[in-house]
Amino acid sequence: MAQLLIRFTQSPFSNAKSQDGLDFALAATNYGHDVKVLFESQGVLQLVKAASTKGLKNHTKRLASMPFFDIEECFVCKASADTYDIEQVLSNNSLVDELDCEWITPEEKVTLIQSVDHVVTF
Amino acid sequence: MAEYSVLITSSPFQGDTALRALSVAQGVIDNGDVINNVFFYSEGVHHTNNLMLKTGDELFVFDSWKTLATEHNVKLLVCITAAVKRGIVSELEAKENGLSQANLTAPFEQAGLGEFFTALHDCNRLVQF
């Protein structure tokens, strides 16, 4: 079993990475790996609730399914949320609560990265 | 001896990423370490399209991967879900869907994320490009 950290660094709809990254994370736990997730840089925007759009997968709902795939440890880069000035938005956001996200500083981010076996970035 | 899994998620034309990926793969082999598999996922599946043509003095990734696979017996796995939606199909999908052409051929093999994650249990290093 490997400890994987999946970094989400892209906004939810700018390219295919957010969706592919989530598929990657959800598949990993099915095959006996331990997955942690970190939202940083533009990736923090994935936590802002988005309405459904016909023809696009609802990223908010798909993210909310992570606990059902045994992805329990979610981290949010506080500095990134500050950059986009969405700390207030995220602190009143049920998705952040559902995922039980932990806010971390850049120093804690380094410790987190060092604590896992593999890091994959989307 | 280290065992590597190489994950390719960037398209062949994203700066020097493909060049670095191939150099690392060659370096791993030169060091006497092992590449368990190269897994093409997300935009990385575009590396495996056999309808690409070589242009000028640019790196031709398709041939480079093929050479790596044939000379060093490296397994090249292509995520089937990511590939088919981007138009990278094997003979089977081409036939089943009435497409005029298949563009995924050996040594590239279709696989799922399951195969990648199962193989990852045997790897101590994972590198992503």
Domain ranges of chain A: 1-119
Structure confidence at residue B33 (pLDDT) = 97
Q: Environment class of residue A62 by beta-carbon count within 10 Å: exposed (0-12), middle (13-18) or buried (19+)?
A: middle
Structure confidence at residue B102 (pLDDT) = 97
For chain A, first and last CA: distance in Å? 21
CA distance A50 to B21: 35
- ipTM of this complex: 0.93
* Whether the Cβ atoms of residue A118 and residue A5 lie closer than 8 Å to each other: yes
Closest CA–CA distance from residue A28 to any residue of chain B (Å): 6
Instruction: Indicate yes or no: CB of A2 within 8 angstroms of CB of B121.
Output: yes
Closest CA–CA distance from residue A52 to any residue of chain B (Å): 22
Instruction: Indicate yes or no: CB of A20 within 8 angstroms of CB of B42.
Output: yes
Structure confidence at residue B126 (pLDDT) = 98
Instruction: Indicate yes or no: CB of B9 within 8 angstroms of CB of A122.
Output: yes
- What positions of B carry a catalytic annotation? 79
A-chain CB neighbours of B124 within 8 Å are 117
Q: Of A15, A18, A20, which to mutate for an interface test with B (greatest number of B Cβ within 10 Å)? A: A20
Structure confidence at residue A92 (pLDDT) = 78
Instruction: Indicate yes or no: CB of B121 within 8 angstroms of CB of A32.
Output: yes
Rg (C-alpha) for chain A, rounded Å, is: 13
E strand map for chain A: 3-8, 34-39, 73-77, 102-104, 118-121
Residue range A67-113, pLDDT digits in tens: 999 999 999 999 999 999 988 888 878 899 899 999 999 999 999 99
CA distance B124 to A117: 8
* Whether the Cβ atoms of residue B61 and residue B47 lie closer than 8 Å to each other: yes
Nearest CA in chain B to A19: B42
Instruction: Indicate yes or no: CB of A17 within 8 angstroms of CB of B42.
Output: yes
Longest pairwise C-alpha distance within chain B: 47
- Topology of the domain comprising A1-119: Hypothetical Protein Ychn; Chain: A, (3.40.1260)
**Amino acid occupying residue A48:** V
Dihedral pair phi/psi, residue A58, rounded to 5°: -80, 100
Closest CA–CA distance from residue A101 to any residue of chain B (Å): 25
Query: Comparing B74 with A53, which gets the higher pLDDT?
Result: B74
How are beta strands B76-79 and B34-40 bridged, if at all?
A: parallel
Band of pLDDT at residue B83, cut at 50, 70 and 90: very high
